[in-house]
């Protein structure tokens, strides 16, 4: 165990409302970490091979750069959850095996190149496929992190970082099952929502040079993958999420929903009937609040795709003759302006926050 200087927080129902900070009257305090070490740890080993090529054509007017890699990492050192009855909640262990396979490509083109004017285009593309090949013995999944009704886990055969949580319970025909208040019932078992792995990333840079003036701009496109947004959760909680404007916040019936009917009284539904119970004004807030509607947590995990105007630059190099007339002891001097992350476009489901 490791002793650490502590800040003991008093809390109720998981919400901190105060704190005791040590030292008090000159007396310090320590607590035992929830994370325990492991004397049996093995070194983490990564094996990789990569092949590629680089080629230039037409007097360097066209350039191609391509690479393929295959990387395998075994015995990654990772914090794995333990039963709290052990006195600890996690322990450092060797994780198993994770592979990464992917490609990286770059194309450089100079469509125009004269004595006074040059246009340069640089395009990049990369794609990675990650897979958890093996987990520690006896583990079918490892919880990496979690928040409320969502877990971020490692599963064999899946990318490292899968989001799982409750979804709306449905009848055999796929209709949403609601309770007596018309609010969907969440499943007791967690289901996979998606993972963090991107489909691909692209970059496009254009640079224009006219004599001593240089102007450049670049776009950055990252497609696919998911991320958990606490900002989204808070927006739903306080009613600021765009989706909460559904039906102008007037009472509504959950579309394609049914209620369970237990004719035999044995706790098992015998049939399903069309739901006609509206989410009334008193329950609209509960419908969008994951505390009352656990399946709504799914809306807090959003697409992390984005397209950004990553940067814009403009610069001017002072002519050599001017520098000589000014008597400056320099051979080159340029003045420039630079802007970064000037614009961003995100999917409709994410109008909450920059994924980065």
pLDDT at 3 over 60: no
Give the predicted TM-score (pTM) of the model: 0.82
Return d(Cα 237, Cα 300) in angstroms, integer.
Answer: 11
Average predicted confidence (pLDDT) for the chain: 90
Q: Is the predicted pLDDT of residue 347 greater than 80, yes or no?
A: yes
* Average pLDDT for 317-346: 88
Which DSSP state fits 116? S
Task: Give the pLDDT confidence of 43-54 residue by residue, as tens digits.
Answer: 999 999 999 999
Mean pLDDT of 32-56: 92
Instruction: Show the tokens assigned to 330.
Output: 């320099």
**Poorest-confidence range of 26-30, 250-254, 351-355?**
26-30
Q: Which residue has the higher pLDDT, 88 or 139?
A: 88
Contact 35, 90 (CB under 8 A): yes
Residue with tokens 């064999």: 156
In contact, 90 and 177? CB cutoff 8 Å: no
Q: How confident is the model at residue 229 (pLDDT cuts 50, 70, 90)?
A: very high
User: What mean pLDDT comes out for the span 165-180?
Assistant: 94
- Burial class (CB within 10 angstroms; exposed 0-12, middle 13-18, buried 19+) of 252: middle
Q: What is the pLDDT of residue 103?
A: 98
Q: Look at residue 23 and tell me whether its pLDDT is greater than 70.
A: yes
How would you class 224 by CB atoms within 10 Å of its CB: exposed for 0-12, middle for 13-18, buried for 19 or more? Answer: middle
Supply the pLDDT for residue 67: 98
Query: In this predicted structure, what is the pLDDT of residue 33?
Result: 85
Helices and strands per DSSP (H, E), number in the chain: 3, 24
User: For residue 355, what are its two tokens?
Assistant: 């994924």
**pLDDT tens-digit series, residues 266-291:** 878 889 999 999 999 999 999 999 98
Residue 5 is predicted with a pLDDT of 41
Residue with tokens 């489901």: 349
pLDDT of residue 269: 84
pLDDT of residue 10: 39
Q: Report pLDDT for 284.
A: 92
Are the beta carbons of 81 and 89 closer than 8 angstroms? yes
Contact 59, 74 (CB under 8 A): no
pLDDT value for 17:
52
Q: What is the pLDDT of residues 5-15, one digit of tens each?
A: 444 443 344 44
User: Which residues, at least 6 apart from 348, have a Cβ–Cβ distance to it below 8 Å?
Assistant: none
| % residues pLDDT > 70 (the chain) | 95
> Is residue 92's pLDDT more than 60?
yes
How high is the pLDDT of residue 18?
Answer: 65
Residues 139-154 have a mean pLDDT of: 88
pLDDT at residue number 13: 44
Give the burial string for 79-89 (b: 16+ CB within 10 Å, else e).
bbebeeeeebe
pLDDT score for 138? 78
Spatial distance between the Cα atoms of 244 and 249, rounded to a whole number of angstroms: 7
What digits encode the pLDDT tens for the residues 100-143? 999 999 999 999 999 999 999 999 999 999 999 998 877 888 88
């Amino acid at each position: 165990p490791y002793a650490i200087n502590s800040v003991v927080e008093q809390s109720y129902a998981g919400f901190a409302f105060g704190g005791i900070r040590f030292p008090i009257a000159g007396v310090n305090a320590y607590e035992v970490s929830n994370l325990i070490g492991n004397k049996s740890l093995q070194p983490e080993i990564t094996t990789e091979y990569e092949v590629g090529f680089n080629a230039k054509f037409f007097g360097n007017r066209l350039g191609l750069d391509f690479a393929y890699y295959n990387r395998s990492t075994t015995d990654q050192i990772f914090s794995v959850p333990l039963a709290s009855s052990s006195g600890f909640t996690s322990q450092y262990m060797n994780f198993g095996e994770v592979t990464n396979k992917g490609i990286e490509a770059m194309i450089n083109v100079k469509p125009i190149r004269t004595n006074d004017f040059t246009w340069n285009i640089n395009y990049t593309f990369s794609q990675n496929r990650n897979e958890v090949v093996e987990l520690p013995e006896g583990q079918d999944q490892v919880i990496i992190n979690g928040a409320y009704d969502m877990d971020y886990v490692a599963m064999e055969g899946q990318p490292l970082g899968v989001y799982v949580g409750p979804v709306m319970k449905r009848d055999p025909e796929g209709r949403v099952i609601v309770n007596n208040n018309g609010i969907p019932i969440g499943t007791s078992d967690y289901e996979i929502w998606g993972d963090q792995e991107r489909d691909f990333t692209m970059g496009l840079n254009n640079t224009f040079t006219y004599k001593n003036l240089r102007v450049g701009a670049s776009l950055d496109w990252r497609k696919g993958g998911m991320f958990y947004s606490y900002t989204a959760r808070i927006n739903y909680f306080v009613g600021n999420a765009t989706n909460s404007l559904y039906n102008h916040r007037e009472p509504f019936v959950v579309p394609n929903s049914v209620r369970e009917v237990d004719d035999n009284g044995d706790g098992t539904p015998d049939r399903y009937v069309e739901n006609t119970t509206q989410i009334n004004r008193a329950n609209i807030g509960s419908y969008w609040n994951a505390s009352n509607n656990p399946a709504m947590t799914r809306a807090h995990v959003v697409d992390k795709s984005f397209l950004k105007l990553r940067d814009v630059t403009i610069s001017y190099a002072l002519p050599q003759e001017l520098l000589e007339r000014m008597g400056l002891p320099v051979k080159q001097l340029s003045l420039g302006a630079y802007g970064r992350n000037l614009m961003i476009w995100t999917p409709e489901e994410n109008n909450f926050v920059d994924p980065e």
